[in-house]
Amino acid sequence: MTIKSHVYVDTDSIITSLDKRIYGQFIEHLGRCVYGGIWVGENSAIPNLKGYRLDVLNAVKAIKPSIVRWPGGNFASQYHWIDGVGPRDKRPRKFDLAWGQVESNEFGTDEYIEWVRLIGAEPFIVVNAGNGSPEEAAAWVEYCNSTKDTYYANLRRRYGHSEPFSVKLWGIGNELWGRWQVGFCRDAEECGWRTVEFADHMKRVDPEIKLVAVGVDYDTEWNVDMIRIAGEYIDYLSIHTYIFTDRQGKTYEDLVAWPIQIEKNLRHVYYTIEQTRRKYGIKKEIKIAFDEWNVWYPEAQPPYLEQITSVKDAVFTGLVLNALQRLSRIVPIATFAQTVNVLPLILTKEDKMLLTPQYLVFKLYTEVEEGNVVATDVISPHYISKELEEVVPYIDASAIYAQNKVYLFIVNRHPEENAEVYIHIKNLKPSTIQHKYVAGSSINDKNVFEEPNKVGIEEKAYAFREPVTLPPHSVNLLIIS
């Protein structure tokens, strides 16, 4: 059997210009993400550039993340940035209260800034709003951004950086609603006023910075209180979503239905923000930073949280990225959790490196350099997700229009059947298609160190004809011109 569907693209109906920050990444001092993943040190036998692991550096650069969030995560709520600057051999080794490990502080602010510049990304720093202080956060902003003749700006200069780092995006705390968080808040009222105090101190140093405050994906009351109290001080509300796969009875069909719920929930959070702004007369525009998201398997246990994901997770990832393209007016920032070794896109093992099918999906989506997200409609057969009690179309699509080309991203959720897709594009007469896709031979195919290229990006080009045939369980990029 083959399923048949229609995809309609209206190039005149522009949702928003593409904000490439939705393809962002997140790295944390957790497990082997930083140490052994990103940083191996200059004396390592593993090929490196000034201590940065070279194969990982090049692999991350290849997926063009526009933004990278750091240093956490839970780690941020107990991290004192001053420990991670200055000569490396003089930095203190500290006990990490978040993850129970020893932190060498070998990789700190200066190393992070240089790494994001090497991969072509912008920095996104999360300050310690757990057991840290507003004064400490303001000093970090001064160290990174100030041009004045003051202590922390001069400290940066003394450590070899005469020009400021110009970090524009800062997060105030991480998941402060959770009791696993060092310095967690009792309620949103406390978190709101703590956020105001941090924001006030930080913006006195640099009024131009943009701030991300702590939200919750499922707690409307928390989000209302945060906007009510801190709305005039912040620019984004942070939302985190992990899909835990250890729930009894979760099937492939349920997993790939979850992006529908994620999209609905992000819209609901934004409506909550807007309603609260109107109710309390808050004039500042506030959007969403979806700055942790992924699937999470039972084998990903502390302290390393390592897992190797498969084609079914690539399908999930493509569906989330489609949703984020559609939502990018209201969710202009998203960072995948995480880039290396922790719930990863990229795994390392000694001197070897492995790219997951999820990584390959990011490679497809970040081919688009610029353009407008345009309206896309799909007519498709459906199925029912028992877990979500949701009607789910087998075909999902999102489109970017740029320079007389349509970048059409189509995901075929069907686990077994090809999809014949009839494509209708307003104001464009298609002549050629460049077709790239990630599929594998089954939903459980994965790349492992013994067989690192089992799943790859397949490519073909052909004259436009209808229908276009898409493999089962596939994430597809059709560049139509």
* Residues taking part in catalysis: 175, 292
State the DSSP code for 82: G
Closest CA to 270 of 196, 212, 220: 220
Distance CA 319, CA 326 (A): 11
Query: For residue 320, which phi and psi values (nearest 5 degrees)?
Result: -65, -40
- Tell me the two tokens of residue 193: 């006023």
Which amino acid appears at position 236 of this protein?
Y
- Asked whether the beta carbons of 292 and 240 are under 8 A apart, the reply is yes
Closest CA to 337 of 63, 138, 77, 73: 73
CA dihedral 422, 426, 428, 430 (to 10 degrees): 0
Query: For residue 305, which phi and psi values (nearest 5 degrees)?
Result: 50, 45
Closest CA to 181 of 132, 114, 230, 123: 132
Distance CA 118, CA 451 (A): 29
Long-range pairs for 98-103: beta carbons < 8 A, 24 or more residues apart: 98/30, 98/72, 98/73, 98/74, 98/182, 99/29, 99/30, 99/31, 99/74, 99/75, 99/302, 99/303, 100/302, 100/303, 101/303, 103/29, 103/79
Distance CA 426, CA 424 (A): 7
Place of tokens 């594009």: 425
Closest CA to 285 of 244, 233, 248: 233
The residues near 274 (Cβ < 8 Å, ≥ 6 apart) are none
Neighbouring CB atoms inside 10 A of 113's CB total 19
Distance CA 393, CA 382 (A): 4
